[in-house]
């Protein structure tokens, strides 16, 4: 499914049709907010910044797209759906399962936030917490899946999940045309895989990772996906230990730049988004702005740069 000859754009078009035909009220068309760079505190003349406010999506993140596509594209057994997640993929799977009237079990690592656990319980999901990191939760999830036969929804490394994420790129292009660049946070790679598969070489897709969770960056150093130690302020969302196989393949062909950002810059951008724009987002959603404000990514004069504001599953009390 991830080979160089695979027609990802057709998969993304099919995902968009499938979701809108079979679950027409589930996804939202999220706003695209265009601002001059100066409005974001950037001293770059003639640059237009597009904020794609995907944190306003159903379930609070872009993950709703891929998880609903995964469920709709497969027969769901009596045991329902099952997923391991740092939080957002689980919330999205639970929301999709609730909309379709099926059971959902979500396995979370201990680093997951109480805000995300509470949201899952509110959606009617069975919540299982255990293990230090996402990989530990995934191992427990796979054990349960083998016992029950539930439909496994992977947080980022399934074709339907990546194609669903790619509908975000399709939506951006339909709303505003092609941006010159798209700045994307990376954990396991489902989002950047879908966006790069849609935009291909038509827009510059830039991968952004925390210094303490560098799955794609380290894979590029090694020449193949490798396990990394993960931690830091965005670990609950970007805490995959290894880049997904699909994302690795797609980004090798369509993503030139993979940049690392320190926790301090990520946290500063998160607080700035709240204090200046009143956007309450989680740390993972702040990496694109952090890349601009820290100078890690410097847009050219006249560039249209799209920032993917990917998730809002955050405890508001932390935004101070």
Round the average pLDDT of the chain to a whole number and report it: 94
pLDDT for residue 192 is more than 70: yes
**Matching residue, tokens 């995300």:** 116
**H-helix or E-strand spanning residue 117:** helix 114-122
Q: What is the pTM of this model?
A: 0.94
In this model, does residue 232 exceed pLDDT 70? yes
Task: Answer for the pair 311, 282: CB distance below 8 angstroms, yes or no.
Answer: yes
| pLDDT over threshold 80, residue 1 | no
Q: What percent of the chain has pLDDT over 90?
A: 85
Sheet with 204-210, strands from edge to edge, namely 32-36, 48-52, 304-308, 181-185, 204-210, 257-261
Q: Which helix (H) or strand (E) holds 260?
A: strand 257-261
Is residue 11 predicted with pLDDT exceeding 80?
yes
- 240: CATH: 3.40.50.1100
pLDDT tens per residue across span 38-65: 999 898 889 999 999 999 999 999 999 9
- Cβ-proximal residues to 311 (8 Å cutoff; 6+ apart), any chain: 54, 55, 60, 61, 62, 63, 88, 237, 281, 282, 284, 285
State residue 150's pLDDT score.
98
Residue 216 clears pLDDT 50, i.e. is over it:
yes
Summarize the confidence of residues 221-232 as an average pLDDT.
Answer: 94
- Residue 36 is predicted with a pLDDT of 95
Condensed to tens digits (0 to 9), the pLDDT of residues 275-315 reads: 999 999 999 999 999 999 999 999 999 999 999 999 998 88
Question: Are 46 and 195 members of one domain?
Answer: yes
Residue range of the domain that includes 227: 8-61+163-318
How many other C-beta atoms lie within 10 A of the C-beta of residue 226?
A: 14
pLDDT of residue 246 exceeding 60, the answer is yes
Is pLDDT of 261 > 80? yes
Query: Who wins on pLDDT, 320 or 269?
Result: 269
Q: Are residues 28 and 176 in the same domain?
A: yes
Q: pLDDT at residue 6 above 50?
A: yes
Domain count, the chain: 2
Write out pLDDT tens, residues 81-134: 999 987 789 999 999 999 999 999 999 988 888 888 999 999 999 999 988 888
Do the Cβ atoms of 168 and 195 come closer than 8 Å? yes
Q: Are residues 111 and 259 in the same domain?
A: no
CA distance linking residue 66 with residue 198, whole number of Å: 14
Residue 73 belongs to a domain: yes
Residue 2 confidence (pLDDT): 46
Domain boundary among 122, 152, 182: 152
Q: Is 140 a member of any domain?
A: yes
Examine the domain organization and report whether 268 and 177 are in the same domain: yes
- How far are the Cα atoms of 50, 140, 216 from residue 183, in angstroms, in the given order? 10, 33, 14
The pLDDT score that the predictor gives to residue 4 is 57
């Amino acid at each position: 499914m991830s080979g160089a000859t695979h027609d990802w754009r057709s998969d993304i078009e099919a995902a968009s049709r499938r979701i809108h035909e079979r679950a027409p009220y589930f996804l939202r068309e999220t706003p695209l907010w265009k601002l001059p760079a100066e409005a974001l505190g950037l001293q770059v003349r003639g640059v237009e910044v597009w904020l794609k406010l995907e944190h306003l999506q159903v379930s609070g993140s872009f993950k709703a797209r891929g998880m609903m596509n995964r469920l709709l594209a497969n027969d769901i057994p009596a045991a329902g759906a099952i997923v391991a997640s740092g939080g957002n993929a689980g919330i999205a799977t639970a929301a999709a399962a609730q909309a379709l009237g099926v059971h959902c079990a979500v396995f979370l690592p201990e680093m997951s936030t109480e805000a995300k656990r509470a949201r899952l319980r509110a959606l009617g999901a069975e919540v299982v917490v255990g293990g230090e990191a996402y990989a530990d939760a995934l191992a427990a999830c796979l054990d349960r899946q083998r016992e029950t036969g539930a439909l496994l929804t992977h947080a980022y490394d399934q074709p339907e999940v990546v194609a669903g994420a790619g509908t975000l790129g399709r939506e951006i292009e339909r709303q505003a045309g092609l941006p010159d660049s798209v700045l994307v946070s990376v954990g396991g790679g489902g989002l950047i895989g879908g966006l790069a598969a849609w935009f291909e070489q038509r827009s510059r897709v830039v991968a952004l990772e925390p210094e303490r969770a560098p799955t794609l960056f380290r894979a590029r150093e090694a020449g193949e996906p490798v396990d990394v130690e993960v931690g830091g302020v965005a670990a609950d969302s970007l805490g995959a230990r290894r880049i997904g196989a699909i994302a690795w393949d797609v980004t090798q062909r369509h993503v030139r730049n993979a940049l690392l950002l320190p926790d301090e810059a990520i946290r500063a951008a998160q607080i700035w988004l709240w204090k200046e724009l009143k956007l309450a987002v989680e740390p993972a959603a702040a990496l694109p702005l952090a890349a601009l404000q820290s100078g890690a990514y410097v847009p050219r004069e006249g560039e249209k740069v799209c920032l993917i504001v990917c998730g809002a599953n955050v405890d508001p009390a932390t935004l101070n």
